[in-house]
């Protein structure tokens, strides 16, 4: 039987399904007291994907790059030192004090044990200092949440990329600019949802296409402009007449194609080979429910960004997988980990652990520990116990957590079975992925009791405003490298705008080589423009908009006959397109009839 509960945090009702109870029983945890969305948001507040700061290392005393803000609580060590034997986490061990809530004691420990400055494996980064949540990079600049890239700049979620600039979710691709969701494709510009294609401009939903401009919903096509076929010679001549090196042309065309794309149907969900799944961006998975960005996973629910397979048996897992199973309410855990609950940043063979951060290296049976990288087991608050004492003490702590729960600033009660409260996060709301997926204004965030940081006042002087940049890349002189450019948003947006930015030399070389104009927005604002094309982590129940011969808003005329002939398609579905959006949404059957 489904059970309806009231969320402690937002006070909305949420449903716990029978299969959920089974999972909680298996994991020996009580059912959650936060609704799925509040749980997701709470975890997201612990993930700073792309803000970098300068902070003093508590090891060397040097100012170093860090994902932790200068005034945040973590003591940081250079990542290389942090992973080494230069320090011993057991030196921070302490007894459990049963006169205080356990989570309060964990937070005290967390403030003392060093954190790695950045989440990177430093030895795999070559000339790529301005990066985080990354490994195996060469000559990369401001790329995040990323691996195995060379010569990439300003990107997020870029894997196996070469010369990918301003990309979001770009995999196995080369020489591309300003795209969202591109796979195995080269020379793709200003486009979304492109797979196995090359030489594409301003297009959406293309597969196995080449030399297309302003196209949508095409398969295996070449030399098309706004979905019309051209001969190769005509196409080349047309393309030459399009002045893609001009900023004005790019802006005008972006608007034009957006309107053009909206004349064509979208599939209700972007899933591929997703058996018995709900959610979106799910590939080759089975029983992935209420989950997003999932690849080759089985039996997962309320999870996100499990894109490094395999993953199985996970509830409320945010990032990353790679051989993980039986994970509950955890963030950034993976690499052969098993049986983790309420953990953050635990990897490399960790198992049977709870309420632990920054641990790995085959450690197991940890409860409330930080920084255990060397195969330690049976530890509580970084103190070593015998197996028997550990088991007894853990049961006693669980009872204690229920009897003397932690209460956070919002008044939420944290008994055993909750993830860490937001106030344990060293990051402010607007510098985490919570702001990307659940955007708030400063006032809204503060009202909810979340922290916020206004952009730092910097002492540079803007030397040229975005409006005064040359329109065409051909007019740009090398002296642009010395300018401080004012972002066109002037910090009036809610996009972590840095107010000003610079062009670096290899970036200028890229724009010149690819014939692309200079950007007018700072890297953060550019990132947030691409984020807008990502569908939300939310589903709406809707009806197929195929009315037989055309879409029911009369905009799109079907190219083929459908099974339901000239009557309205009766299919209903879940979709991430809310009812107030301009896009036309078809069920899978009707959509596939129309992509040609």
CB 229 within 8 A of CB 223: yes
Rounded to whole angstroms, how far apart are CA atoms 555 and 60?
A: 64
CB of 531 to Zn ion, least distance (A): 11
- Nearer Cβ to Zn ion (178/313): 178
Q: Which of 189, 158, 132 is nearest to 510 (CA)?
A: 189
Those residues with Cβ within 8 angstroms of residue 445's Cβ, 6 or more apart along the chain or in another chain: 429, 430, 451, 452
Nearer to Zn ion, 10 or 208 (CB): 10
Binding-site member from 27, 29, 38, 428 for Zn ion (CB under 5 A): 38
Which positions from 535 through 554 interact with Zn ion, judged by CB under 5 A?
546
For the bound state, the minimum distance from the C-beta of residue 272 to Zn ion, rounded and expressed in Å, comes to: 20
Measured from the CB atom, is 239 or 504 closer to Zn ion?
Answer: 504
When the beta carbons of 50 and 148 are compared against Zn ion, the nearer one is 50
Residue placing its CB nearer to Zn ion in the complex, 192 or 562: 562
Which of 29, 35, 327, 476 is in the footprint of Zn ion by CB under 5 A?
A: 35
Closest CA to 106 of 381, 379, 376, 358: 381
Report in angstroms how near the CB of residue 547 gets to Zn ion at its nearest: 8
Which of left, alpha, beta for 142 (phi over 0: left; psi -120 to 50: alpha)?
A: left
Helices (H), 89-231: 102-112
As measured in angstroms, the least distance from the Cβ of 98 to Zn ion is 31
Which stretch, 111-119, 460-468, 531-539, 585-593, contacts Zn ion (CB under 5 A)? 585-593
140 or 525, CB closer to Zn ion?
A: 525
The rounded distance, in Å, linking the Cα atoms of 390 and 395 is 9
Q: Using the rule CB under 5 A, is 562 a contact of Zn ion?
A: yes
- Min dist. Cβ of residue 523 to Zn ion (A): 8
Virtual CA dihedral for 401, 407, 412, 416, nearest 10 degrees? Answer: -10
Euclidean distance between CA atoms 301 and 272, whole angstroms: 17
Taking alpha carbons only, the member of 266, 330, 334 closest to residue 297 is 334
Minimum CB distance to Zn ion smaller for 204 or for 562: 562
Footprint of Zn ion on 489-508 (CB under 5 A):
489, 493, 495, 497
Helix, strand, coil shares, percent, the chain, to 5 = 25, 35, 40
Min dist. Cβ of residue 115 to Zn ion (A): 29
CB of 552 to Zn ion, least distance (A): 10
Least distance between Zn ion and beta carbon 563 (Å) = 7
Question: What is the smallest separation between the CB atom of 356 and Zn ion, expressed in angstroms?
Answer: 25
142 binds Zn ion (CB under 5 A): no
Interface with Zn ion, residue 16, by CB under 5 A? no
Whole-angstrom Cα Rg for the chain = 25
Residues near 525 by beta carbon (within 8 Å), at least 6 away in sequence: 487, 488, 489, 493, 495, 496, 497
* Inter-CA distances, 516 with 245, 293, 507, Å: 4, 31, 11
Instruction: Pick between residue 64 and residue 487 the one whose CB is nearest to Zn ion.
Output: 487
Is residue 166 at the binding interface for Zn ion, with CB under 5 A as the rule?
Answer: no
Q: Minimum CB separation from Zn ion for residue 461, in Å? A: 17
- Other C-beta atoms lying within 10 Å of the C-beta of residue 252: 11
Backbone angles phi, psi at 122, to 5 degrees: -55, -35
Give strand pairing partners of 384: 379
Residue 7 sits at the vertex; the CA angle it makes with 412 and 539, to the nearest 5 degrees, is: 135
Q: Out of 113, 143, 433, 487, point to the residue binding Zn ion (CB under 5 A).
A: 487
In the complex, minimum distance from the CB of residue 422 to Zn ion, in angstroms, rounded to a whole number: 13
569 part of the interface to Zn ion, by CB under 5 A? yes
Compose the 334-353 pattern: x for residues touching Zn ion by CB under 5 A, - for all others.
--------------------
Residues 516-535 close enough to bind Zn ion by CB under 5 A: 522, 525
Applying CB under 5 A, the span of 104-112, 133-141, 403-411, 565-573 interacting with Zn ion comes to: 565-573
Residue 319 or 584 with smaller CB distance to Zn ion = 584
Q: Which residues pair with 354 in a beta bridge?
A: 341, 367
Decide whether 476 or 569 has the Cβ nearer to Zn ion.
569
Residue 87, both tokens: 């320090």
- For Zn ion (CB under 5 A), the number of binding residues is 16
Point out which residues bind Zn ion (CB under 5 A).
Answer: 7, 9-10, 35, 38, 487, 489, 493, 495, 497, 522, 525, 546, 562, 569, 590
């Amino acid at each position: 039987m489904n059970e309806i509960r009231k969320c402690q945090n937002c006070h909305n009702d949420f449903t716990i399904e029978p299969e959920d109870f089974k999972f909680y029983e298996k994991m020996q945890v009580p059912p959650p007291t936060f609704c799925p969305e509040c749980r997701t948001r709470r975890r997201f507040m612990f993930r700073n994907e792309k803000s970098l700061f300068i902070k003093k290392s508590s090891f060397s005393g040097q100012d170093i790059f860090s994902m932790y803000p200068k005034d945040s609580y973590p003591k940081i060590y250079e990542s290389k030192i942090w992973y080494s034997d230069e320090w011993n986490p057991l030196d921070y061990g302490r007894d459990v004090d049963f006169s205080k809530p356990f989570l309060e004691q964990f937070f005290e420990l967390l403030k003392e044990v060093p954190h790695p400055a950045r989440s990177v494996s430093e030895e795999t980064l070559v000339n790529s200092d301005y990066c985080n949540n990354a490994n195996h990079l060469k000559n990369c600049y401001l790329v995040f949440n990323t691996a195995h890239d060379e010569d990439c700049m300003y990107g997020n979620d870029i894997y196996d990329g070469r010369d990918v600039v301003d990309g979001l979710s770009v995999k196995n691709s080369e020489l591309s600019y300003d795209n969202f969701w591109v796979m195995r494709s080269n020379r793709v510009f200003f486009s979304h949802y492109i797979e196995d294609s090359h030489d594409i401009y301003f297009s959406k939903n293309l597969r196995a296409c080449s030399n297309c401009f302003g196209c949508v919903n095409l398969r295996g096509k070449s030399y098309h402009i706004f979905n019309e076929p051209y001969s190769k010679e005509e196409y080349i001549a047309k393309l030459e007449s399009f002045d893609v090196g001009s900023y004005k042309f790019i802006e005008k065309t972006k608007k034009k194609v957006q309107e053009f794309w909206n004349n064509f149907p979208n599939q209700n969900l972007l899933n591929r080979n997703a058996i018995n799944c709900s959610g979106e961006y799910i590939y080759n998975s089975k029983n992935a429910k209420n989950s997003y960005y999932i690849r080759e996973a089985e039996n997962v629910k309320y999870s996100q960004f499990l894109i490094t397979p395999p993953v199985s048996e996970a509830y409320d897992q945010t990032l990353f997988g790679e051989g993980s199973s039986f994970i509950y309410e955890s963030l950034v855990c993976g690499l052969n980990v098993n049986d983790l609950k309420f953990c953050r940043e635990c990897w490399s063979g960790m198992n049977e652990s709870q309420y632990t951060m920054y641990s790995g290296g085959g450690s197991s049976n940890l409860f409330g520990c930080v920084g255990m990288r060397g195969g330690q087991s049976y530890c509580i608050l970084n103190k070593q116990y015998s197996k028997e004492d550990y088991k007894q003490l853990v049961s006693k702590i669980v009872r204690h957590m229920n009897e003397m729960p932690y209460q956070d600033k919002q008044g939420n009660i944290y008994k055993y079975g909750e993830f860490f409260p937001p106030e344990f996060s060293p990051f402010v709301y607007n510098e985490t992925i919570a702001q990307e997926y659940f955007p708030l204004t400063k006032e809204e965030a503060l009202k909810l009791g979340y922290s916020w940081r206004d952009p730092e006042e910097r002492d540079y002087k803007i030397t040229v405003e975005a409006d005064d940049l040359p329109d065409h890349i051909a007019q740009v002189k090398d002296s642009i490298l010395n300018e401080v450019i004012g972002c066109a948003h002037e910090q009036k947006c809610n996009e972590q705008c840095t107010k000003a930015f610079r062009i670096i030399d290899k970036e200028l070389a890229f724009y010149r080589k690819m014939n692309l104009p200079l950007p007018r927005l700072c890297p953060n604002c550019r990132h947030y423009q691409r984020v807008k094309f990502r569908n939300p982590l939310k589903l709406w129940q809707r009806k197929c908009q195929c009315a037989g011969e055309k879409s029911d808003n009369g905009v799109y005329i079907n190219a083929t006959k459908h099974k339901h002939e000239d009557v309205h398609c009766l299919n209903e579905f879940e979709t991430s397109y809310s009812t107030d959006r301009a896009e036309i949404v078809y069920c899978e059957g009707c959509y596939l009839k129309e992509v040609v």
